[in-house]
């Protein structure tokens, strides 16, 4: 079981409070330690640095080292900057490991983020760079109470509204605890005054009636919504909604799908860049783009006490594409994912080599689907947010922008992370991933098949420049290898989300780069 899945299970069953404690104990729930722009101070005598990889870690390192007076260049495998900070729009193409090529057919202005798609409010470093580089942000809707939760084993497979399940769970829990309190079962735990305050709080929190019961009526409907909403004039009076039966609710297990918004990394406010996640990468590229050399595939990294030599070939192949070229520098910041770096001849000590080989990469897939119209808004009044299901697509995320507009729309039609479903979808051909996402999604939204236009699907283990989604550290591997991975080895230092305690997040990549260049600068000034 992955750490992420374990934490998710704790949150689903025990709530956000215990979830936060578990995350803190595992080193995940700490706020970013970023406290402002890095101030390296000018290098005494300059020096040259070659940075491998133009993702966020590489571009962060380049920006800060150049500001400190170093002569910097970046070697990048792809023909674009940003790495996993990536958005797909109409006309964009990419090739998988087996040569399968996809071309996105979305209408103008529509996009999907195959990699990162959210920026939590406590990712201070990334937010600061966005501010400094003019990257405009908007709110990402994580929790939408009108979205859906779905189980193929409950309610005849019919999706339920998030607000119904959450309100009913809270209501019944509040009722049960109120009964225990009124029966003096908690007398040893609370004072008489605390008992009265607890009952008052439970009544409000759970939408209970005067007898501390969770029943059909105005109190409950103020939380779960009405069957017929309050109106105006001589329109019909409001009709309260009826809670789901307690036994049926528990048996459905849908309560396991409603707590993710309480997890620290998903708590409001969450942001997304206006226009796509790659707007962040483009913001960095505006600063350091002149330093990047694209389409260069690193084949060997050597070092001596005097400097570093990086060998590379033309990543595009073709005539003369296998001709080896070299770049020399005093220092090297390597941000190549470990899944790729472990296949490259790199001249570092045994401890760092063992660390590079010790970190597997998690599986993930995403499917973006374009529909003729935004039926989720027009028909079901779902504006942003995420619906959850036990189907292999696991979740459907609705766009958090351009609300209530006409014309086609794109939603995230499937996203699984580091589990069996992720491997299963990645193993499919792209057209089969899309077909399956439409078929599964139609169980939540019957409009899918009629309204579907086109789609694009990314299976991360098939991306030749990373062969996976993110670095997975076990507790034992971190204990044995993490410090060795992050040490400056001679004239080489590694950076990236894999060299952080925030794997799979852009903040981890940025913080790792800041720490790496600071230590490299100190080594360079002492050399």
Distances (CA, A) of 249 to 11, 171, 172: 18, 11, 10
The stretch 275-282 carries a mean pLDDT of: 98
Residues 172 and 245: their CA atoms lie apart, in Å, by 9
Q: How far from each other are the two terminal CA atoms of the chain, in whole angstroms?
A: 45
Percent of the chain surpassing pLDDT 70: 94
One DSSP character per residue, 58-75 reads HHHHHHHHHHTT-EEEEE
Eight-state DSSP code of residue 394 = -
Q: Give the other-Cβ count within 10 Å of 366's Cβ.
A: 27
Cα angle, residue 50 at apex, residues 47 and 56 outer, rounded to 5°: 120
pTM: 0.91
Burial (CB count <10 Å: 0-12, 13-18, 19+), residue 513: buried
- The count of residues in the chain is 527
Burial (CB count <10 Å: 0-12, 13-18, 19+), residue 232: exposed
- How confident is the model at residue 103, as a pLDDT? 98
Decide if pLDDT at 282 tops 90.
Answer: yes
Residues 339 and 149: their CA atoms lie apart, in Å, by 35
What tens digit of pLDDT does each residue of 410-424 get? 999 999 998 999 999
Residues 22 and 16: their CA atoms lie apart, in Å, by 10
Decide if pLDDT at 7 tops 80.
Answer: no
Domains parsed from the chain with CATH numbers: 31-37+44-78+282-361+475-526 (3.50.50.60), 88-146+267-276+362-460 (3.90.660.10), 161-252 (1.20.1440.240)
More confident position, 364 or 36: 364
- How confident is the model at residue 6, as a pLDDT? 56
SS (H, E, C) 264-325: HHHCCCEEEECCCCHHHHHHHHHHHHHHEECCEEEEEEEEECCEEEEEEEECCCCCCCCCCE
Helix or strand (DSSP H, E) at 413: strand 409-417
């Amino acid at each position: 079981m992955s750490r992420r899945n374990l934490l998710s299970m704790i949150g689903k069953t025990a709530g956000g409070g215990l979830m936060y404690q578990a995350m803190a104990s595992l080193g995940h729930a700490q706020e970013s330690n970023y406290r402002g722009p890095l101030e390296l101070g000018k290098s005494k005598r300059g020096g040259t640095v070659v940075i491998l990889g133009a993702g966020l870690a590489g571009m962060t390192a380049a920006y800060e080292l150049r500001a400190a007076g170093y002569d910097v260049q970046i070697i990048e495998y792809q023909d674009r900057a940003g790495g996993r900070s990536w958005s797909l729009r109409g006309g964009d193409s990419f090739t998988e490991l087996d040569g399968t090529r996809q071309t996105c057919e979305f209408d103008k202005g529509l996009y999907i983020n195959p990699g990162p798609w959210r920026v939590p409010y406590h990712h201070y470093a990334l937010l600061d760079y966005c501010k400094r580089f003019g990257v405009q942000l908007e709110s990402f809707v994580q929790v939408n109470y009108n979205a859906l939760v779905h189980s193929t084993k409950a309610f005849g497979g019919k999706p339920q509204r998030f607000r119904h399940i959450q309100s009913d769970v809270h209501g019944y829990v509040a009722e049960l605890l109120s009964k225990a309190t009124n029966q003096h079962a908690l007398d040893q735990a609370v004072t008489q005054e605390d008992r009265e305050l607890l009952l008052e709080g439970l009544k409000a929190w759970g939408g209970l009636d005067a007898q501390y019961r969770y029943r059909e009526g105005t109190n409950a409907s103020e939380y779960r919504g009405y069957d017929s909403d309050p109106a105006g004039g001589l329109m019909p009076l409001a009709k309260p909604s009826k809670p789901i039966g307690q036994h049926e609710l528990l048996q459905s297990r849908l309560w396991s799908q409603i707590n993710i918004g309480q997890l620290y990394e998903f708590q409001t406010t969450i942001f997304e860049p206006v226009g796509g996640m790659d707007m962040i990468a483009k913001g960095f590229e505006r600063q350091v783009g002149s330093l990047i050399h694209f389409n260069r595939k690193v084949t060997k990294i050597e070092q001596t006490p005097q400097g570093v030599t990086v060998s590379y070939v033309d990543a595009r192949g073709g005539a003369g594409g296998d001709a080896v070229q070299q770049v020399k520098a005093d220092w090297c910041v390597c941000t190549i994912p470990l899944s790729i770096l472990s296949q490259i001849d790199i001249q570092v000590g045994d401890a760092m080599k063992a660390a590079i080989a010790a970190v597997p990469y998690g599986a993930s897939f995403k499917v973006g689907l374009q529909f003729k119209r935004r039926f989720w808004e027009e028909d079901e009044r779902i504006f942003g947010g995420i619906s959850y299901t036990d189907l292999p697509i696991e979740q459907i995320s609705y766009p958090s922008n351009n609300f209530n507009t006409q014309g086609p729309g794109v939603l995230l039609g499937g996203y699984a992370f580091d589990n069996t479903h992720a491997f299963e979808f990645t193993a499919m051909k792209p057209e089969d991933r899309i077909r399956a996402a439409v078929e599964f999604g139609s169980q939540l939204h019957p409009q899918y098949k009629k309204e579907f236009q086109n789609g694009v699907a990314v299976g991360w283990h098939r991306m030749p420049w990373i062969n996976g989604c993110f670095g997975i550290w076990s507790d034992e591997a971190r204990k044995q290898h993490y410090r060795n991975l992050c040490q400056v080895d001679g004239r080489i230092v590694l950076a990236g989300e894999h060299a952080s305690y925030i794997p799979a997040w852009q903040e981890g990549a940025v913080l790792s780069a800041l720490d790496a260049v600071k230590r490299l600068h100190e080594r360079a000034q002492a050399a």
